[in-house]
Amino acid sequence: MLADTIIELLKEEISSQEYDRYIKQLKFHEKASNSDQMVFLAPNILIANWVKTKYSDKIAHLFELKTGKKPEIKIVLKEHLKTTKVKSTPVEMIDAIKNTKNTILNPSYTFDSFVVGSSNQYAYTAAKSIAEKPGVMYNPVFIYGPTGLGKTHLIHAIGNYVQGRGKIVIYATIEQFMNDFTYNLRNQSMDRFREKYRSCDVLLIDDTQFLSNKIQTQEEFFHTFNELHSAGKQIVLTSDKPPKMINGLEDRLKSRFEWGLIADIGLPELETKIAIIKKKCELDGINLNSDIVNYIAANMGDNIREIESAIINLNAYASLMRQEITLDFAKNVMREQIKERRENISLEDIIQIIAKDLNIKPSEIKSTKRSKNIVEARRIGIYLARTLTPNSMPSLATYFGMKDHTAVSHNIKKINEIIETNESFKLKVEDLKNKILTKQM
Ligand SMILES: Nc1ncnc2c1ncn2[C@@H]1O[C@H](COP(=O)(O)OP(=O)(O)OP(=O)(O)O)[C@@H](O)[C@H]1O
């Protein structure tokens, strides 16, 4: 069937994850389709919206390649088909998107797919509670933290949750807000702009730090904020830094951003990263054993976006090579990425981070003191210095004040033995390794 051919062609153009998550969920509605239009049934509004925005042009293009005619692509909600007893004329079908003022949100970014750990617990709880009762508890909610740690995921999760309960949600990055603003200003259609941003139930604004020094946009945003806030509409903002630290942001905006609740997302603990990797693998149907998951979590840093792309690359490479993913295979594929991350690590960094974490003085690690905790810290230091830096055993012996390289080698052997038998010690060492790789002092 033509639709099958088109879907097969589309499958080649997109990743298998995208295919499984969105396209595979669609059902072709043969009866309603003809040479002018293709109708697909989607299981829910989130998928319908997403497919409509992301893939309908591609589908139309592939159809055109095959038939020479460009069709209209309609994505219809399956449930609508059941409840409204749509008659044979497809034009009468309710297009899931047409009449909605809502923005398109990523349907994969939900509360269910968000892994909660101590680094993001507060932000998650705040997000969940305002999603349940928008505009009632804290307004605005301001979520901040370093890149790739789930701020956009959380803000979309709020959007998906409230949209699913019939509320009107507008999501925009500051860049989109600004572009929208300048476009409407130039076209003298500011009424339309204001109607869009001020008539929603929930306004979600990503990357607020980019308001910095944009005087005119700040002015417009100030009025948008005031209008929504005084009408009891929920505002959620994200940024890479707290309001106070955003340079070039007017004080009146800074103070407003602090009116409600401020929640930060910190760097994830090793356990959280492991849980996130497992969740991603489960959602994307990727099979990685726990040694590989632990290896990725301990070596790929804290940026979850980078971790995700490393997993996707690894999986793509394995299927291309028709190889099973073993630990050695994973190490090999990720070698370059991991090497790059290690280039700037100094022995001094290692000592500082271990000392801080184990609550001893850096100088004690290099001393000859024999108390149990200091010996253990020294051993871990030697082990991680050997693992994470290109230093030779003799140079490590000099650095750590040891007799010679055999003493270094003995210490490394000792750590390897403990790691093999003691799971919590192993996790501790991996956690330290990770802190060193991300230079968390
Ligand atoms: N706790 C988590 N659970 C599940 N997935 C997560 C989590 N944290 C981050 N991710 C995933 O990591 C990726 C990057 O997250 P996201 O885009 O939300 O980061 P961000 O903090 O908004 O980054 P930026 O500041 O660069 O915009 C997304 O695919 C997201 O799903």
Q: Residues 170-198: pLDDT tens digits?
A: 999 999 999 999 999 999 999 999 999 99
Q: Is 148 annotated as a binding residue?
A: yes
In this prediction, residue 88 carries a pLDDT of: 33
Q: Calculate mean pLDDT across residues 81-107.
A: 50
pLDDT on residue 440: 60
Cα angle for residues 35, 36, 42 (degrees, 5° grid): 95
267's tokens: 């760097």
Q: Compute the CA torsion angle 378, 383, 389, 390 (nearest 10 deg).
A: 110
Kindly tell me the burial class for residue 323, based on how many C-beta atoms sit within 10 Å of its own C-beta (0-12, 13-18, 19 or more): exposed
DSSP category for residue 116: P
- DSSP H helices in 199-268: 215-230, 251-257
How much of the chain exceeds pLDDT 70, in percent? 93
Cβ–Cβ < 8 Å for 40, 26: yes
Q: Which domains occur in the chain, in start order?
A: 2-92 (3.30.300.180), 121-264 (3.40.50.300), 284-342 (1.10.8.60), 347-437 (1.10.1750.10)
Q: Which residues contact 301 (CB under 8 A, 6 or more apart)?
A: 307, 341, 434, 437, 438
Q: What is the pLDDT of residue 82?
A: 52
For residue 50, is pLDDT > 50?
yes
Whether 93 shows a pLDDT value over 50: the answer reads no
Check if the beta carbon of residue 79 is closer than 8 Å to that of residue 42.
no
CA atoms of 106 and 103, how far apart (whole Å) = 10
| pLDDT attached to residue 87 | 36
Q: What is the pLDDT of residue 192?
A: 92
ipTM of the complex: 0.99
pLDDT of residue 86: 38
Supply the mean pLDDT for the chain: 87
Count how many residues are written for the chain: 441
Strand partners, 438: none
Ligand 1, residue 115: give the atom nearest the CA: 3
150 is in an annotated binding site: yes
Q: Which amino acid is at 276?
A: I
Q: Which helix (H) or strand (E) holds 36?
A: none
* pTM score: 0.69
Q: Among 17, 113, 152, which residue has the most ligand 1 atoms within 8 Å of its CB, making it the best to mutate?
A: 152
Q: Which of 111, 149, 206, 265 to mutate to test the pocket of ligand 1 (most atoms within 8 A of CB)?
A: 149
Binned at pLDDT 50, 70 and 90, residue 423 comes out as confident
Q: Which pLDDT score is estimated for 80?
A: 61
Ligand 1 centroid – CA 147 distance (Å): 8
| H/E run at residue 306 | helix 304-320
DSSP 77: E
Question: What is the whole-number distance in angstroms between the Cα of residue 225 and the centre of ligand 1?
Answer: 25
Average of per-residue pLDDT across 59-82: 82
